[in-house]
Amino acid sequence: MEVVENPVAIGDAMCGKGGQLVLVAGPCVIESDQSTREIGVRLAEMAERVGAPLVFKASFDKANRTSVDSFRGPGLDEGLATLDRVRTETGLVVTTDIHTVEQAEPAAEVCGILQIPAFLARQTDLVVAAARAAARHGGVVNVKKPQFLAPEDTRHIVSKCVEAGNSRVLLTERGTTFGYGRLVNDMRAIPLMQETGAAVIFDATHSVQLPGGATTGGQREMVPVLARSAVAAGCDGVFAETHPDPDSARSDGPNMIPLDDLEELWRGLLRIRDAVQEVSTDKSG
């Protein structure tokens, strides 16, 4: 298997083997410059209180919305400007989705992590462009496992990134399609994906989606259950979209954690991580 950096540096944190549990958090989409920056400040303050690494996430374009009438975001130029302000004002590493080859370079100039959406993870040109652009700027590529892909087959995605010149790769597990209107989470996916050499993030909020209908539903009350299970299974980070008022959010509201509830969940996940690492140390000793 190709050599992948693990742990991989994300800002001042190390994510992966022996590293810290990284939280990737933020609103699903940039709803406005002001609201996004306010959420960024609150998350940065939370990270300082908790004493753990946080990456800020928000999308400039939700290109895979169910309905053509759904809100998509401000677009590339305006969205990256907002993310750059969040980065500058908070000191947080920022990440966003890209959907086309042309978006890779400008996004890599701002974002420490380029994220490939699950539905696009088989698009070789996009994965290669993201890997190359991120490498030019010292960044990381985070590829979400498609809902239709077996976890062990993510090795091909990692290979494309490494062959494109970037060994700084993360994989994200976000559930698997099961019949109609459901995603399921098989926690075996986490160690299987880690066998590629990459650190693995668990997407706790998209995993509770209920696809189908005019808009995608979700069960946000199940986010803590899955997040705790994934950390116990050994994931290296947790992805959790959050919003001050999820019921009024313009994208994925049913899945998102209220911002006021995130810190308590995060602290609990860190305690589980400590316990997992203690058990691992005992076994290795």
Number of domains in the chain: 1
Average pLDDT over residues 35-57: 98
Average pLDDT over residues 42-47: 98
Residue 16 falls inside a structural domain: yes
Residue 200 falls inside a structural domain: yes
Structure tokens at 117: 């959406």
Residue pLDDT, tens place only, 170-204: 999 999 988 777 889 999 999 999 999 999 999 99
- Please report, for residues 70, 232, 239, 249, the alpha-carbon distance to residue 235 in angstroms, rounded to integers and kept in the order given: 32, 8, 11, 28
Structure tokens at 245: 């008022």
Range of the domain at 45: 8-284
* pLDDT of 147 higher than 90: yes
Is residue 232 within 8 A of residue 190, CB to CB? The reply is no
Residue 34 falls inside a structural domain: yes
Counting every residue written for the chain, the total comes to 285
Q: In the chain, pLDDT over 70 holds for what percent of residues?
A: 94
Residue pLDDT, tens place only, 266-284: 999 999 999 998 887 766 6
CATH number of the domain residue 59 falls in: 3.20.20.70
**Whole-prediction pTM:** 0.94
User: What integer pLDDT is reported at residue 285 of this predicted model?
Assistant: 61
Q: In the chain, pLDDT over 90 holds for what percent of residues?
A: 84
Residue 2 falls inside a structural domain: no
Residue pLDDT, tens place only, 88-101: 999 999 999 999 99
- Name residue 113's beta-bridge partners: 95, 140
User: What integer pLDDT is reported at residue 214 of this predicted model?
Assistant: 59
Residue 1 falls inside a structural domain: no
* pLDDT of 159 higher than 80: yes
**How many angstroms separate the CA atoms of 116 and 126, rounded?**
8
Residue pLDDT, tens place only, 109-138: 999 999 999 999 999 999 999 999 999 999
Residue 204 falls inside a structural domain: yes
User: What integer pLDDT is reported at residue 215 of this predicted model?
Assistant: 64
Structure tokens at 7: 């742990």
Q: Assign 246 a pLDDT band (cuts: 50, 70, 90).
A: very high
State the chain's mean pLDDT as an integer. Answer: 93
Q: Assign 1 a pLDDT band (cuts: 50, 70, 90).
A: very low
Q: Assign 3 a pLDDT band (cuts: 50, 70, 90).
A: confident
Is residue 59 within 8 A of residue 252, CB to CB? The reply is no
